Amino acid sequence: MSLLEIKNLYVEVDNHEILKGIDLRVNAGEMHSIMGPNGSGKSTLAQVLARRESYNVTRGEVSYDGKDLLAMKPEEAACEGIFMAFQYPVEIPGISNAYFLRSALNAIRRHRGLDEVDAMDFLPMFREKLKLLDMDEKLMNRSVNEDFSGGEKKRNEILQMAVLEPKLAILDETDSGLDIDALRIVAKGVNSMRSPERAIVVVTHYQRLLNYIVPDFVHVLVNGRIVRSGGPELALELEEKGYGSMEAGARQPAPA
Amino acid sequence: MRKQETKNVITELETYLESFSEFEKRAAGRNLPWLRSLREDAFARFCQVGFPTTHDEDWRFTNVSAIARTPFRLARNGFARVSQKELGPWRVAGVACQLVFVNGRFSRELSSMGNLPVGMKVNGLGKEIAGNPTEIEPHLGRYVDTQRDAFCALNTAFTEDGAYVHIRKGAVVEGPIYLLFISSAENSPSMSHPRNLIVAEEDSQAIIVEDYVSLDPGPAFCNTVTELVAGDRAVVAHYMIEREHREAFNISTLRIEQGRSASVTSHSVLLGGGLVRNNVHPVLMGEGGECLINGLFVGNGRQHLDNYMLVEHASPRCDSRQFYNGILDGNAHGVFHGRIIVHKDAQKTDAKQTNRNLLLSDEAQIDTKPQLEIYADDVKCTHGATIGQIEEDALFYLRSRGIDEVSARKLLLFAFATECLDRMKQGLVRKHIEGLINHSLFQVANTRAEARANSRKDEGRSWEEMG
């Protein structure tokens, strides 16, 4: 059984059909990359998997770990082990990063029948993760993402992933807007999370990130459909030829 | 153009006349000529002015006709009915002292006077009027406006008891002085007019908390006035907590007289009450004074919570800050009216005003109004107001990390309220208030979740419509 199995998924946002029949299987231990031009539906797919309610699934099914993902609320999906790193992490004034992360961790731990972590034990528990992402501990006392630089926000997403230890992580354009140093740090964080029990789906526009995070599978999403799937070499082909060649293919019905 | 009627004819004038003549016969200090004329003048003025209507600019958003139409009688003392045990939930541990007032009347039996530090005196105002009138006379009624303000006039007419707090020159009282006001309607419309006098002499420091609670539901009208005199360089923190029953009317006025380089902070936390009007009126009399007016109001159901500030800069180089945050759900109606007057000689005034609001339902309403009157030329005055909803993006972000919807809403509401808490000094009072706010927001977050789950019920008429 695959960890994630998407079958013939159609999704509308504001009465526009964005996803037009997605099929995808992701097994534990695998790293997948979903690539595509702007507006192809990459982020929509990520948001649907994180259970954003304003996205309307009109057809298809998604099973996650043998359960119906589409019946879950966002918090239920998170507690079941799904994590999405946001393309645009949200600023929340008035809630400290540490408090937020501890609340999230404890919600998930409660769901798994584990003891909650108190404020004293919390920071020491993941000091190494902060170090891995080259993050200053002081950031933890600041409001969530407030006045963080672009790079700090993205690293904060990866830190959350590292602390919450999901089974399925979806990274939505985590690379965009990062300079090369920040990109390396983020990639290091992501690579450290690879494990046989965990699947990672990297949504990206550019091939650049894939120089640092090497996926097992690459899927090309164009106009709401996966038009090609292949190994890591597909990303290189894209780099060379661009999406143009694939877009031509997109006018044909998607391969069954 | 015909002048619009800006006052209500006092329909219950008979009742007030009866109450007043009865009151005059038995009130403490009735033999003191100055007090007698203070009361009589104020009552005459009340009868002339009448209750305000919404045509009065200061009352544009708050309709008090429900108060005007109700035949309130002076509340009986009701001490006998209140037991120590009943007070249990309202007790606050660790305070310097807790004075208890039942329907405005001081109860020494119910109060815990604690070990009061040297240099301070607290007592019932009535006892001081009777035993020590020369100390009271120079201050009582010298600061509030009984000419224009009907509620202050009414309070002054019925002035008899409340809290008297005196901090002597240079004394520093670290523990909070906690004043608990319990109102009880006893099944018939009753009113009380607590009158507090707080005198903090030069270089003194004190923390005062006024906490308004109800013992039982019913139409109780609490019309309270506090005169706070902060001498030169005095540092005073004043907290007002309103958490009465939803049928209660509460009109409160805090009139602050600030000396040179005095620093006063006023924190208002309005969580309860049906129709609430909180006036905060500092006058910065001495040069270099500082005044922070901080407030939070959380309303749902049919609550009407009106925050009215009048900040008078009467001397140069004074700073004033007003920060109010409002959270409104259901059919609640909030008002923020921030008036700043910079008098002619008050050069180098620095005044700032910010009001931020969260509306959680389509029916909730906020009226926010800045009003700056500047008669000096070298001043800095700024104001700003925002009205918004809980951001869906923030909500989704929290939920996507595993935090359930009610908790996520509560977190976001609390974050919003934290801005106000952060302006209170760390310590006992802040902790206490944090607990009260937390409780209120949890209820709001829960009802919000229910409201989303069920179809919306009609929560009835608002105070406006009842007028």
How many other CB atoms are there within 10 angstroms of residue A58's CB atom?
Answer: 11
Q: Which of residues 91-130 of A touch B (CB under 8 A)?
A: 92-95, 100-101, 103-105, 107-108, 111
A255 occurs within a structural domain: no
Q: Domain tally for chain A?
A: 1
Please name which of B292, B142, B149 lies closest in space to residue B229, comparing C-alpha atoms: B142
> Which residues of chain A does B419 touch, with a Cβ-Cβ cutoff of 8 Å?
93-94
| B419 contacts A75? CB cut-off 8 A | no
Q: Is residue B191 part of a domain?
A: yes
**Judging by DSSP bridges, how do beta strands A31-35 and A168-172 pair with one another?**
unpaired
ipTM score assigned to the predicted complex: 0.95
Residue among B403, B414, B416 whose CB faces A104 most closely: B403
Do A229 and A198 touch, CB atoms closer than 8 A? no
**For residue B455, is pLDDT > 70?**
no
Closest by alpha carbon to B52, among B72, B70, B68, B73? B68
pLDDT given for residue B452 in this prediction: 72
Q: Do A73 and B405 make contact, defined as CB atoms within 8 angstroms?
A: yes
Best mutation target, A100, A108, A167, to test chain B (most B CBs within 10 A)? A100
Sign of CA dihedral B446, B450, B453, B458: negative
Instruction: Quote the tokens at residue B373.
Output: 């009157």
In this predicted structure, what is the pLDDT of residue A256?
41
d(CA A56, CA A87): 20
Name the residue of chain A whose CA is nearest to B393's CA. A90
> Which structural domain range is residue B46 located in?
3-286
Give yes or no for a contact between B331 and B299, defined as CB atoms under 8 angstroms apart: no
Residue B313 lies in a domain: no
Tell me, what amino acid is at B67?
Answer: I
Kindly report the pTM of this predicted structure.
0.85
B334 within some domain: no
Residue B68 and residue B51 in contact, taking contact as beta carbons nearer than 8 Å: yes
Distance CA A33, CA A213 (A): 9
The residue type of A90 is V
Cβ atoms < 10 Å from Cβ of B381: 18
Residue A75 to residue B403, Cβ atoms within 8 A: yes
Q: CATH number for the domain including A71?
A: 3.40.50.300
> Rounded to the nearest 5°, which phi and psi values hold at B212?
-105, 120
Higher per-residue pLDDT: B447 or A75: A75
Name B358's bridge partners: B327, B388
Is A138 a domain residue? Answer: yes
Q: Which residue, chain included where needed, has tokens 């009282």?
A: B173
In chain A, residues with a C-beta closer than 8 Å to the C-beta of B394 are 90, 92
Task: Write out the E strands in B152-262.
Answer: 163-167, 177-183, 190-192, 195-200, 205-214, 220-230, 235-243, 249-258
Which amino acid, one-letter code, is at B278? N
- A161 in reach of chain B (CB within 8 A): no
Which distant-in-sequence residues (6+ apart) come within 8 Å of B242 by Cβ? B212, B250, B252, B268, B269, B270, B271, B272, B273, B276, B278
| Span B380-404, pLDDT tens digits | 999 999 999 988 999 999 999 999 9
φ/ψ (deg, to 5) at A178: -100, 140
Number of domains composing chain B = 1
As a whole-number percent, the residues of chain B with pLDDT over 70 amount to 94
d(CA B108, CA B163): 11
A123-173 pLDDT, tens digit per residue, is 888 888 999 999 998 899 999 999 999 999 999 999 999 999 999 999 999
Handedness of CA B134, B139, B142, B145 (dihedral sign): negative
Strand partners, B325: B296, B356
* Residue type at A203 in one-letter notation: V
What is the distance between the alpha carbons of residues B127 and B167, in angstroms, rounded to a whole number? Answer: 17
- Structural contact between residues B416 and B323, judged by C-beta atoms closer than 8 angstroms: no
A contact test, residue of B400, B420, B421 with most A CBs within 10 A: B400
* Residue of B399, B416, B441 to mutate for A, most A C-beta atoms under 10 A: B399
- State the Cα–Cα distance between residues B69 and B85, nearest whole angstrom: 35
CB contact under 8 A, A78 and B401: yes
Q: Which of residues 397-436 of B touch A (CB under 8 A)?
A: 397-405, 407-408, 411-412, 414-416, 418-419
* Predicted local confidence at residue A128, as pLDDT: 87
The answer as to whether B70 is a domain residue is yes
Residue A178 has pLDDT above 80, yes or no: yes
The strand pairing partners of B295, in sequence order, are: B268, B324
Q: Which residues of B touch A83 (CB under 8 A)?
A: 400-401
With a pLDDT cut of 70, the percent of chain A lying above it is 96
What is the C-alpha separation between B448 and B330, in angstroms, rounded? Answer: 9
What is the structure's pLDDT at A193? Answer: 95
pLDDT higher than threshold 90 for residue A41: yes
In sequence order, the 6+-apart residues with CB closer than 8 A to the CB of B94 are: B175, B428
Tokens 């009984």, located at residue: B146
Selection from B397, B423, B424, B432 nearest residue B411 by Cα? B397
Q: At what angle do helices B405-421 and B392-399 cross, to 10 degrees?
A: 120
Spatial CA neighbour of A145 closest among B398, B407, B409, B421 = B398
Chain Cα centroid distance, residue B27:
25
Contact B446, B438 (CB under 8 A): no
Residue B353 makes CB contacts below 8 A (sequence gap 6+) with B309, B321, B322, B338, B340, B370, B381, B382, B383, B384
Q: Identify whether the C-beta of residue B180 lies closer than 8 Å to the C-beta of residue B84.
A: no
CB contact under 8 A, B399 and A73: yes
Alpha carbons A142 and A212: distance in angstroms, whole number: 30
pLDDT band at B465 (very low <50, low <70, confident <90, very high): very low
* Amino acid (1-letter code) at residue B145: D
Mean pLDDT of B186-215: 94
Predicted confidence (pLDDT) at residue A207 exceeds the cutoff of 90:
no
Dig out the tokens for A133 from the structure. Answer: 């992402």
With beta carbons less than 8 A apart as the criterion, state whether B111 and B162 touch.
no
Q: Are B191 and B223 in contact (CB under 8 A)?
A: yes
**CA A198 to mean position of chain CA atoms:** 12
Model confidence at B257, pLDDT cuts 50, 70, 90, reads very high
pLDDT digits (tens, 9 = 90+) for B413-425: 999 999 999 999 9
Q: How many residues does chain A have?
A: 256
Q: Is residue B62 part of a domain?
A: yes
Q: Is residue B137 part of a domain?
A: yes
> B29-86, pLDDT tens digit by residue?
999 999 999 999 999 999 999 999 999 999 999 999 999 999 999 987 655 578 888 8
Encode pLDDT of A81-133 as tens digits: 999 999 999 999 989 999 999 999 999 999 999 999 998 888 888 888 999 99
Range(s) of the domain holding residue A117 = 4-249
How far is A250 from chain B, CA to nearest CA, in Å? 32
Q: How confident is the model at residue B407 (pLDDT cuts 50, 70, 90)?
A: very high
Mean pLDDT of all residues in chain B? 91
In a domain, B388, yes or no: no
Contact status of A90 with chain B (Cβ, < 8 Å) = yes
pLDDT of residue A240: 84
pLDDT value for B77: 64
Q: Name every chain B residue with its beta carbon within 8 A of the beta carbon of A13.
A: none
Return the residue in A13, A75, A159 with the most chain B beta carbons within 10 A, the one to mutate for interface testing: A75
Half-sphere exposure of B340 (CA within 13 A, CB side): 26
What number is the average pLDDT over the span B128-140?
A: 95
Residue B88 pLDDT class (50, 70, 90 cuts): confident
Does the CB of B11 have a partner CB in chain A at under 8 Å? no
Give Cβ neighbours of residue B203 (< 8 Å, ≥ 6 apart).
B169, B170, B231, B232, B233, B234
Cβ contact B309:B437 at 8 Å: no
10 Å CB burial of residue A16 (0-12, 13-18, 19+) is exposed
Pairing between β-strand A67-68 and β-strand A56-64 as defined by DSSP bridges: antiparallel
Which residue(s) pair with B326 in the sheet? B297, B357
CA dihedral sign of residues A164, A165, A170, A175: positive
For residue A30, the SS3 value is coil
Quick check: is A148 in a domain? yes
Contacts of B3 (CB under 8 A, 6+ apart): none
**pLDDT surpassing 80 at residue B196:** yes
Residue type for B62, please?
Answer: T
For the residues B214-218, what does the mean pLDDT come to?
87
Residue in A with minimal Cα distance to B404 = A75
Is A17 within a domain?
Answer: yes
Q: Do you know the residue count of chain B?
A: 467
State yes or no: pLDDT of B3 exceeds 70: no
With respect to residue A254, please indicate whether it lies within any of the assigned structural domains. no
CA distance to partner chain A, nearest, from residue B206 (Å): 29
Per-residue pLDDT, averaged over A221-231, amounts to: 95
B439 domain residue, yes or no: no
How far is residue B59's CA from residue B31's CA, in Å, rounded to a whole number? Answer: 36
Q: Which residues of A touch B396 (CB under 8 A)?
A: 52-53, 74, 90
